[in-house]
Amino acid sequence: MNPVWEQAASIARTQIMARSFSKWTGRDLLPGLFNPLGLAKNIFAAPFVLVAHGTEADPVLNYGNAAALTLWEMSWDEFTRTPSRLTAEVPNREERARLLATVTAHGFIDDYSGIRISQTGRRFRITQATVWNLLDKRGNNSGQAAMFDRWEFL
């Protein structure tokens, strides 16, 4: 089987994340010029965490780069079957829901902090995360993504 970044769905999702990030923030998700496969490979291997979920009523994670998979202690298959609400402990889910509602209304935020939990129960605080709405080529809602490079285990 091909590596995750070579799969068509991952390449397409990476394109949506990069294009949407640029639209909302005016910045590049990953500086440099890359073809779609090169961007997918470099983002998967990036030193920051990048995650995304879809538009389901209970959104399911549909992307996590290598740093995300390591942090949440999951395989690609486990990660991409997980409802995104399960990345936060029960007491923190209400705060997470408020965050996502704010992002939905305003397009993005770039100063989010919160506590998350890995599959094995390891808790960690993320800081200065950027969270943004994902839009397909036609401008239709395609979910939300988050990126951060600062976290500490609790």
> Which pLDDT tens digit goes with each residue over 72-126?
999 999 999 999 999 987 766 777 777 778 888 889 999 888 899 999 999 999 9
Give the Cα separation of 67 and 103 in Å (integer).
Answer: 23
Query: Which pLDDT value is given to residue 51?
Result: 98
pLDDT at residue 31 above 80? Answer: yes
Q: Are strands 108-117 and 49-53 parallel, antiparallel or unpaired?
A: unpaired
Domains, the chain, in order of start with CATH, read: 4-153 (3.30.450.20)
The pTM of the whole model exceeds 0.75: yes
What number of H helices and E strands is found in the chain?
5, 6
Q: What is the mean pLDDT of residues 52-81?
A: 97
In the predicted model, what is the mean pLDDT of the chain? 93
Determine contact, residues 144/62, Cβ cutoff 8 Å: no
What Cα–Cα distance (Å) separates residue 93 from each residue in 27, 34, 122, 136?
Answer: 29, 36, 16, 27
Q: What is the mean pLDDT of residues 45-60?
A: 96
Query: Which pLDDT value is given to residue 92?
Result: 67
Q: Are strands 61-64 and 151-153 parallel, antiparallel or unpaired?
A: unpaired
More confident residue, 32 or 37: 37
What Cα–Cα distance (Å) separates residue 148 from each residue in 8, 9, 37, 52, 138?
Answer: 24, 22, 22, 12, 27
Which residues lie below 8 Å from residue 106, measured CB to CB, with a gap of 6+? none
Euclidean distance between the first and the last CA atom of the chain, given in angstroms as a whole number: 36
Query: Which pLDDT value is given to residue 99?
Result: 75
Q: What is the mean pLDDT of residues 32-60?
A: 95
Query: Which pLDDT value is given to residue 80?
Result: 97
